[in-house]
Amino acid sequence: MKNLITFSLLLMVLFVNSVAAEAPAKTLAATIEVYVFPAKGQAADQQSKDEAECYGWAESSSGSDPFQLQKDSEQQQQQTEQQVQQAQNATQGAGAKGAVRGAAAGALIGEIANDDASEGAAYGAAVGAVAARRRTKAASAQAQEQAKAQGAASQEATAEQIGNFKKAFSVCLEAKEYMVKY
């Protein structure tokens, strides 16, 4: 029984290794979502060399490396999310701060108007809390929208840079007689 289990495991390992060996490796072009067909029957190793050469040329011509741009884009998305979260958290405690300011102003006005600082303080606290919450919510919403807009603009610029790189990469490969689509 022990030999049967060992034999079965050995067969499974051999099968998995043979399937993995048959799976074609992803080309450089495929990793950046550019489809390349060897129009003149170029060999796979020649295509790999041509792609590497064209990658270097496209990087220097466009001034962009799509892999670095992708990393930068992910970092920008994280920063945008953090800024939005910070703007949402900025509203905490605004009502209490506004209530304190309103109470002080209300007490002063109440004392001057009718010699009753406590009633003026109560009204002032209520008005101050509501006003502070409204101002803070509006400022928070504006900050969130601004962070999202900046993030979207950054993503758009990155997409444009990647597109320019792909154009340069494609031109180079087409000059080497490959059919290219992206």
Three-state SS for 75-96 is HHHHHHHHHHHHHHHCCCCHHH
Question: Would you state the pLDDT for residue 10?
Answer: 46
User: Are 178 and 38 within 8 A, CB to CB?
Assistant: yes
Question: Would you state the pLDDT for residue 56?
Answer: 96
pLDDT at 106 over 50: yes
Please report which confidence band the pLDDT of residue 128 belongs to, taking 50, 70 and 90 as the band edges. Answer: low
Q: What is the pLDDT of residues 11-61, one digit of tens each?
A: 455 555 554 445 567 889 999 999 999 999 999 999 999 999 999 999 999
Q: Distance between CA atoms of 51 and 174, rounded to whole angstroms? A: 11
pLDDT at 158 over 70: yes
Question: Would you state the pLDDT for residue 39?
Answer: 93
Question: Would you state the pLDDT for residue 182?
Answer: 86
- Note the helical H segments in 23-91: 28-31, 44-62, 66-89
CA angle 161, 163, 164 (to 5 degrees): 65
Question: Would you state the pLDDT for residue 109?
Answer: 55
Q: Distance between CA atoms of 73 and 151, rounded to whole angstroms? A: 9
Portion of the chain with pLDDT greater than 90, in percent = 42
Residue 172: Cβ-neighbour burial (10 angstroms; 0-12, 13-18, 19+): buried
Question: Would you state the pLDDT for residue 103?
Answer: 53
pLDDT at 82 over 60: yes
Please state the domain extents for the chain: 32-181
